[in-house]
Chain A
Amino acid sequence: MSRTHLPTLLAIIASVSLGAAPALAQPVREDGKATVTMVSPMSIVKIRDLDFGTIYMDATSTGGTVVIDPTRPEGSEISVTGAILSGNDGHSAKFGGSPERTKKIKIRIPKGTITMTRLGGTETLVVRNFTLDGPDQRTVTASTYFDFRVGASIDIPAGAAEGAYEGQFEVQVQYP
């Protein structure tokens, strides 16, 4: 008599899908900084304009140069070269202020040239080489008045038209 042996095969394959890895991931973090720099207000006022004064030249003059040097004492700032005469009535520009707090400032004057135009006309003269009466970085004291002078040079060409010439320039005080 034969025996039959029925092998019983039950295969259970579990379907395993891991949840998306995020469940196992750690949060990551990074630090940042918030910053602000506070400064107290300070204003600068103009005390006087830059004035090259009166220049005399005759019809045959070959022209000349006028220099206002703010490092020289007031009253002796003007120097003239060439075939022109100065009436010695010019002066450097002067600006002043009084800061609330002692601080370091940086004075910025024009680096290049500016143009003056004749009033009532179109002729121009070029102002160049702006200079300060000292270093452009200085420390100013709280509640104490301070000022600084600005000078420059102009070249007067032969045959320059008679009249008053005017131009604008900007001076900036940066702090800190």
Chain B
Amino acid sequence: MGRYASDFRGERHVFRDLAELLAKASPRRSGDELAGLAAESDAQRVAARAVLADLPLTRFLEEPLIPYEEDEVTRLIHDSHDAAAFAPVRHLTVGGLRDWLLSYDATPGVLAALAPGLTPEMVAAVSKLMRNQDLISVASRCRVTTAFRSTIGLPGRLSTRLQPNHPTDDLRGIAAATLDGLLYGTGDAVIGINPATDSVPNCIALLEMLDGLRERHDIPTQTCVLTHVTNAIRIMERGAPVDLVFQSIAGTEAANRGFGVDLAVLREAREAALALKRGTVGQDVMYFETGQGAALSADAHHGLDQQTVETRAYAVARAFSPLLVNTVVGFIGPEYLYDGKQIIRAGLEDHCCAKLLGVPMGVDVCYTNHAEADQDDMDTLMTLLAVAGTSFIITVPGADDVMLNYQSGSFHDALYLRSVLGRRATPEFEAWLERMDMTDRVGRIRQFAPQEGAMRRLLSGQDESLAL
């Protein structure tokens, strides 16, 4: 391990190794302070960025941050690195990559071809040299398209996860929240429930209810109950209707072990889901969640700053061709991201880094009640992310998740973003909304009177299950 030093504008700064250099170059955040990794002063932070800027990208191939022998995520990153794809930027420094990514040469086609040649560490490093507008500019040029029953990530589109959670998994309550969301035109990325009770029979009951609702109305989307991957395997063995396999993942082998998973079990679950052949326009069957702070909270961060180790999780994700990935950016709490400023920055970093690596990133634009954040911060972040081209956002009734006790996006937020930025739902879902007579002449979601067609159609056929 080399030492990294600089005489930056007359001040001498020394960094022990690559991990420390990356950590000190990171924008300030509470999780790195908690871990004792953050820069000791603002000046030291800038000096670290200056050293990082001069570092050749090839250094990240020569010097793994976590030893190859110790960590299967490191092995995955290095074994799957595509040297041919890397060739066009091989000669660059981290700072040179930043400038090149912002140049007019970095077109969507060029960036898509580059993705397999980039490692998470290179991407994390360059993001530390980027301002928020750089993160938005670069991400907006990345195209990552995935498909199952709908096609997510096409230019000009913004999809939504409809998240109809209920504190006791009441089927009627979940169906009610789902219908509410559909009436705002949300759910084209997935209708996905976080179950309150993580048992196999309960998850099967939820899956069957969602699948029945989807089939009855012929909705071109996918459903998911976000249970542990090992539960999903058992649920598929019992023949329940599983579209997508969900799992929370992180950027180190030890952190993934904390989630009770490894690469082998993810592979096994993906193969089982592929065998069901339930997709119509594609067969991307995995759904992952990530989030800065996950590795540190499992004490499995190996001395890496939280943004660098988060980016390594995207290497895990891309190995399984996921339909959807989202960072739960503000969920994990103020000890990792203290306030709106830190949440906004992290959301833009996670989105940009994932997209550069070819991962279909969406964002749970969210916060908890003990963070210094509010709806104004979420408005800012979701608007920036929609400009940056986020694949999807998460939406719940009135922004209030009554099961997980945090605030996410609302169905109304989706209407707002689609209106002000002209973003549309997936082509398949858009056609369904038209068939259901839910859109007006310019494609906006109509506001329904209770007696009206779309409302009646969606609520009818529910009479038995909902006892309206």
A binds B: no
Partner-A contacts on B (CB < 8 A): none
Partner-B contacts on A (CB < 8 A): none
